[in-house]
Every structure is written in structure tokens, then in C-alpha cells.
């Protein structure tokens, strides 16, 4: 038997109901915040991710599904959604048009990671990207939107918040961090030794306990912000306080992608094990320009749908639609015709086999429909149909013309 690839799952039946319920709920909320749907390709030029997510990131360094296609192009399956949306934004010249552009998307992302619970090689994200708004109120709106979605789905969370500074304050902070880390160079892991040269702030995020012990006294980003970043970060906290959104400041939250500046945030769940990040995002004011567009402030987030699936509290399922069946062969062709008509307005499940009433009722029950409608020889003669409401159990025989 040929099975699916490791870390790549099928989504069907009950899982699919949760999956679509999540997408419907989050899309509905994104629209309320003024966002419009965007679809970008799954395959993009590798250079797009190298430039945006960053060569020093694990995603680009180790996890991309990268290959040369038949036209000799260096391409890869998207590991995340932001880069493609930014590319589309520039390609459609929306950076030149000016104004505010807000997009939401959902779809498959691919990262060649070691699969485990909550960590897949093909997974799905719901994400939003907002272009053209410099105000920190937009950062707050992003966080409120994630919070609205999680609340609607009955999912608890902890929100971690940091500021990653800007071109003003980040370089001198990085220098002081490098000075500090170099002093304890002998005690740190090989990865951190590499990070010091490639992207020093990544050391803060190191999963190695002994490195973390050494970094306890390291300079903190939040204590080295310039006046503008500091004021934005304070204002963001005030807006969240005013809107009763709880958060923790985590000055070692650096995110795994290189394009962020200023606000960075992650939503984590304590109910799903080690892969606990359920959403992440932040501001990326330099990325549009870096990919060749006009300088445009931008902010966004993405949520990992598979990680949220088991946490979603589904609404009570309600019975809907019709089951229609025939009790003898003669009635079957009429039943098919009636089902065809009814499907113009309602969902109809139908059985092509003739059965007795008891077995039709059993099948209707299994199909979780609201009505079971059946035609036998008497109904054929009288041009009627027998209908049972499976919720209130009422039964009626009505003319087919009125059905
Ligand atoms: P990210 O933090 O890399 O951010 O991914 C967002 C979410 O995707 C994570 O919080 C997690 O729930 C889910 N996720 C990531 N990797 C996996 C995996 N291997 N298996 C299952 N779920 C996973 C981004 O991707 C940014 N593009 C977010 C963003 C949008 N920032 C600004 N705009």
C-alpha cells in the first residue's frame, strides 16, 4: 500500500468539519476587521524566501522543500505565507497605489521539520497581512483579531509580547549582545556560536538550557529601545490593557523569521504539549522595500490550524436537510426527480436502493438530516410523499407539488 508522506496528513470526516469551521470562523472575523481574501501560489522562487524569511533562519537554512523545476528555475514550496503576499502586493503595484490594503489567506505551508505531535511537514495556516498602516493601533488590532478568533472557538491562550526595535536601536543592541555572548563563548552551544555571527538575537531563543542560564544576565532588547520604539511598545501595552487583553512581556521572544521589527507576538496554548505556539506575528516595516517595493509599513500574523484543531469547541451539531428514499422500484425514478428539484434549495441525501420504511428511517438517522421523506406505491398512486421531521418526530403525507 502506498501511504501518505511522513508529516503530511489527510483531513477528512470529523477533522474536516473542525477544519472548515475554523476557516469559516476566522475568515468571518477577518472580514469584520476589513480584510479581503488573497490566494497566492504554493510554489515560489526560492530567492523570495531567502531574502524575506532570511538565510540565517532554520526555515531557509534547513527546512525548505527546494528543487530545480523543468525550466531550470530554483523554486520551493512555500514555508510560510507572508513572503508570497508581499510579492503579490508589489507585483500588483499596490505599493505605488498607496493607501491601505488588508488581506487574509489560508492554505498549506511546507517545512521539512522532524515530525512530531503538532509539528508537520505539510501544515495549514490562517493568516492576515496589513499594508500601509504605521500606527501601533493596527498592531493592537492584529492581536485583538487573534484573541477574537480564539475566544469564539473556546480556546484559552497566553499572549507573549516583545519589541524587536528598528534600524535606529537594533544595531547598537546587537553589538552589546554580541559583546556579552562572546564573553561566555566557551560555554555556549555550536548553534549559538554560529548565531553570534549570522543573527545574534537568535541566541536569546536557544532551546539549550545551559545557554539560557548564561543569557540570564544578557542585555534585554526592551531596555535598549529608541524613543520611538519605546513609545510604540508602551502604547501597545496600554491599548491591550484598555481592552482587557492579558499579555506577558518576553524579551527573549525573537520569532523564527528575520523580517520583523518593533512588535513581535506569539499566542501559546498550555493544553497541547511541546509544540505550543498556536499563532505568531508582528510588524515588518522593512520587508516591502527589501523585496523591491516602495517603503510600506506592514504587520500581520498566522495561526497554525492543525495545532488548534483539537482545542476547538464545536457548536452543537444541528440536523439539516433531507433524506429521500423509495420503497419500491417504480417510485425510484420519481424520487430521483424530486431530489434533483429539492437540491436547488436544500441538502439532500438519497439512497438508490429501495428499502422498507424502517430501514430508510435508520439510514436517515445515520445521515443526521432533519427530514426523512419516503415514497411507496400508495404515495405514487396519490402523487404524495410521506415526510417525518426527525427532530420533533411529527409525520405528514403531503402532495409532491407542495413538497
Ligand atoms: P510562524 O510563527 O512561523 O509565523 O508560523 C505561524 C504558526 O504556524 C505557528 O504559530 C504554528 O502554530 C504554525 N506552524 C508553524 N510551523 C508548523 C509546523 N511545522 N507544523 C504545524 N504548525 C506549524 C509565520 O509563518 C509568519 N508568516 C506569520 C506572520 C504573518 N507574520 C507576519 N505576518
Residue 285 in contact with residue 262, Cβ under 8 Å?
A: yes
Per-residue pLDDT of the chain (403 residues; tens, 9 = 90+): 999 999 999 999 989 999 999 999 999 999 999 999 999 999 999 999 999 999 989 999 999 999 999 999 999 999 999 999 999 999 999 999 999 999 999 999 999 999 999 999 999 999 999 999 999 999 999 999 999 999 999 999 999 999 999 999 999 999 999 999 999 888 899 999 999 999 999 999 898 999 999 999 999 999 999 999 999 999 999 999 999 999 999 999 999 999 999 999 999 999 999 999 999 999 999 999 999 999 999 999 999 999 999 899 999 888 899 999 999 999 999 999 999 999 999 999 998 999 999 999 999 999 999 999 999 999 999 999 999 999 999 999 999 999 9
Which of 307, 309, 310, 312 is the pocket-test mutation for ligand 1 (most atoms within 8 Å of CB)?
307
* Strand, coil or helix: 8: strand
Distance of CA 275 from the midpoint of ligand 1 (Å):
11
**CA of residue 347 to ligand 1 center, whole Å:** 36
Q: What share of the chain is helix, strand, coil (3-state, %, to 5)?
A: 40, 20, 35
Nearest CA to ligand 1 atom 14: 304
**Calpha distance 381→330 (Å, rounded):** 11
Give the Å distance between the CA of 278 and the centre of ligand 1. Answer: 8
Ligand 1 atom 1, closest CA: 280
pLDDT for the residue 317: 81
Query: Which residues have CB under 8 Å from 309's CB, separation 6+?
Result: 15, 18, 19, 22
Could you write out the DSSP letters of every residue in 104-163?
EEEEEEE-----BTTB-SEEEEEEEEEES--SHHHHHHHHHHHHHHHHHTT---EEEEEE
Q: Is 79 in the pocket of ligand 1 (CB under 6 A)?
A: no
On whether the CB atoms of residues 280 and 128 are closer than 8 A, the answer is no
Point out the ligand 1 atom lying closest to the alpha carbon of residue 81.
27
The three grid cell numbers given for residue 101, joined into one nine-digit string: 490594503
Closest ligand 1 atom to residue 256 Cα is 3
Q: Is the CB of 150 under 6 A from ligand 1?
A: no
Dist CA 50 CA 54 (whole Å)? 5
HSE-CB of 68 using CA atoms within 13 angstroms: 2
The owner of cell 535606529 is 168
Pick the closest to residue 386 from 361, 366, 349 (CA basis). 361
User: And the C-alpha cell for 216?
Assistant: 540570564
Is the Cβ atom of 256 under 6 angstroms away from ligand 1? yes
Dist. CA 3–CA 305, nearest whole Å: 23
Instruction: Classify strands 348-350 and 322-326 as parallel, antiparallel or unpaired.
Output: parallel
Q: What is the 3-state secondary structure (H, E, C) of 67-93?
A: EECCCCCEEEECCCCHHHHHHHHHHCC
Residue 240, phi then psi, degrees to nearest 5: -65, -40
Ligand 1 atom closest to 79 (CA) = 25
DSSP 8-state symbol, 4:
P
Q: Residue 195: which residues within 8 A CB-CB, separation 6 or more?
A: 56, 202, 203, 206
Amino acid at each position: 500500500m502506498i501511504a501518505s508522506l511522513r508529516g503530511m496528513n489527510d483531513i477528512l470526516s470529523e477533522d474536516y468539519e473542525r477544519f472548515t469551521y475554523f476557516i469559516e470562523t476566522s475568515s468571518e472575523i477577518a472580514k469584520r476587521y476589513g480584510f479581503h481574501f488573497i490566494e497566492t501560489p504554493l510554489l515560489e522562487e526560492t530567492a523570495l524566501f531567502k531574502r524575506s524569511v532570511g538565510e540565517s533562519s532554520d526555515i531557509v537554512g534547513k527546512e525548505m522543500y527546494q528543487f530545480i523545476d523543468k525550466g531550470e528555475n530554483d523554486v520551493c514550496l512555500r514555508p510560510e505565507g507572508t513572503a508570497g503576499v508581499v510579492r503579490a502586493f508589489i507585483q500588483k503595484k499596490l505599493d505605488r497605489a498607496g493607501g491601505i490594503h488588508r488581506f487574509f489567506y489560508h492554505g498549506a505551508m511546507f517545512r521539512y521539520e522532524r515530525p512530531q505531535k503538532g509539528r508537520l511537514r505539510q501544515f495549514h495556516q490562517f493568516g492576515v497581512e496589513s499594508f500601509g498602516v504605521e500606527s501601533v493601533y493596527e498592531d493592537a488590532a492584529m492581536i485583538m483579531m487573534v484573541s477574537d478568533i480564539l475566544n469564539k472557538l473556546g480556546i484559552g491562550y497566553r499572549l507573549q509580547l516583545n519589541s524587536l526595535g528598528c534600524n535606529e536601536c537594533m544595531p547598537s543592541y546587537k553589538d552589546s549582545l554580541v559583546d556579552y555572548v562572546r564573553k561566555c563563548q566557551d560555554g555556549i552551544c555550536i548553534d549559538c556560536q554560529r548565531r553570534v555571527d549570522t543573527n545574534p538575537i537568535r541566541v536569546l531563543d536557544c532551546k539549550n538550557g545551559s545557554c539560557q542560564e548564561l543569557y540570564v544576565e544578557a542585555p534585554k532588547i526592551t531596555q535598549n529601545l529608541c524613543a520611538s520604539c519605546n513609545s510604540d511598545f508602551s502604547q501597545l501595552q496600554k491599548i491591550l490593557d484598555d481592552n482587557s487583553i492579558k499579555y506577558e512581556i518576553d524579551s527573549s521572544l525573537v520569532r523564527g523569521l528575520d523580517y520583523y521589527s518593533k512588535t513581535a507576538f506569539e499566542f501559546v496554548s498550555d493544553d497541547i504539549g511541546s509544540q505550543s505556539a498556536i499563532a505568531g506575528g508582528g510588524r515588518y516595516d522593512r520587508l516591502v522595500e527589501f523585496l523591491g517595493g516602495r517603503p510600506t509599513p506592514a504587520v500581520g500574523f498566522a495561526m497554525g490550524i492543525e495545532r488548534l484543531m483539537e482545542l476547538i469547541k464545536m457548536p452543537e451539531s444541528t440536523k439539516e436537510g433531507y433524506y429521500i428514499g423509495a420503497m419500491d422500484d417504480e417510485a425510484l425514478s420519481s424520487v430521483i426527480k424530486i431530489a434533483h428539484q429539492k437540491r436547488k434549495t436544500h441538502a439532500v441525501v438519497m439512497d438508490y436502493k429501495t428499502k422498507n420504511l424502517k430501514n430508510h428511517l435508520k439510514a436517515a438517522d445515520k445521515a443526521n438530516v432533519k427530514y426523512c421523506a419516503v415514497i411507496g406505491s400508495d404515495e405514487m398512486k396519490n402523487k404524495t410523499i410521506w415526510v417525518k421531521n426527525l427532530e420533533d418526530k411529527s409525520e405528514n403525507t403531503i402532495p409532491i407539488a407542495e413538497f
